[in-house]
Amino acid sequence: MASINAEGTITARCPGCKGALSSFEWKSATAQHGVTFVPYRHFHNGDGRIEYRLFRCAGCGRGGLGAIACGGVQYPNAIWELIRFYPEVRERLPLPKDVPEGIATEFREGETCLESGALRASAAMFRSVLDKTLRANGYKEKKGTTLEQQIDLAASDGVITQARRRRAHDEIRVLGNDVLHDDWQLVPEADVEAARYYAQRILEDFYDDRESVLKQLYDAKRLEAPPAD
């Protein structure tokens, strides 16, 4: 969550710095980056303003926009509150290095949707990550094999635990199916956070110790083992 200090500098996780905490500054050594404002009529007896200010990441130089409620004096004096800051990312969950690029990119897209408040889109993306991971590891046995069946097969092979199997069903598959197939309804952010967390854990199950998992997949005839030297 972005915060602002008494000097008017905003601290937030920067997408240009891969989600690292960074300081966003509102001026250079010679000038402000830019500002416009409107009266803040609804609070504080109408004597303030909302400033829409341009900021610059001290790390990568990426721009940002802050909406700040202020008193009737020159910025940064009498800052009341930071209303909103854009762009802001959450701390990105780490992924194993062996996760295929397409699956990793899809996971990150799900995180981006979550950060933007597109919760239904995010839930659908994490379901897609689960589906593509199982397909990539040989669990789409034939046309018509459902995601539910693929999850159960991975658990029966011991690639994921029974506890992870339940989470894959309850936190990722069911939520994603509700988004894709049921009538529109609000999706709780906590539910999407859970889908994100368990999708990352399943990627760890398959790709953190890849050599061991590949042996399990070869033994279970999910993937074809390479010919011996």
Cβ atoms of 64 and 104 within 8 Å: the answer is: no
- Which SS3 state, helix, strand or coil, does residue 30 take? coil
pLDDT of residue 167: 97
CATH topology (fold) of 101-219: Four Helix Bundle (Hemerythrin (Met), subunit A) (1.20.120)
Residue 44: predicted pLDDT = 54
> In sequence order, which ranges of 43-188 are alpha helices (DSSP H)?
101-115, 119-136, 147-156, 162-167, 174-181
Give the per-residue pLDDT at 46.
59
Q: What is the pLDDT of residue 90?
A: 80
List, in order, residues 6 or more apart from 216 with CB less than 8 Å away: 157, 158, 159
77 closest CA partner among 8, 176, 170, 175:
8
Torsion angles phi and psi, residue 214, rounded to 5 = -60, -40
Print pLDDT tens along the chain (229 aa): 899 999 999 999 998 887 889 999 999 999 999 999 988 766 555 578 899 999 999 999 999 999 999 986 789 988 999 999 988 888 889 999 999 999 999 999 999 899 888 999 999 999 999 999 999 999 987 778 899 999 999 999 999 999 999 999 999 999 999 998 888 899 999 999 999 999 999 999 999 999 999 999 999 999 998 887 6
Whether the CB-CB separation of 4 and 66 falls below 8 Å is answered with: yes
In this prediction, residue 22 carries a pLDDT of: 95
CA triple 131-171-148, angle to 5 deg: 45
How confident is the model at residue 140, as a pLDDT?
84
Copy the structure tokens of residue 53: 């200010």
pLDDT given for residue 158 in this prediction:
96
pTM assigned to the model: 0.76
* Phi and psi at residue 137, to the nearest 5°: -110, 20
Q: What is the pLDDT of residues 81-131, one digit of tens each?
A: 999 998 888 888 999 999 999 999 999 999 989 988 899 999 999 999 999
Residue listed under structure tokens 């990722």: 172
pLDDT at 74: 87
Specify the pLDDT at position 11: 97
For residue 17, CA distances in Å to 28, 92, 123 come to 20, 11, 25
pLDDT reported for residue 142: 76
| Domain extents in the chain | 3-86, 101-219
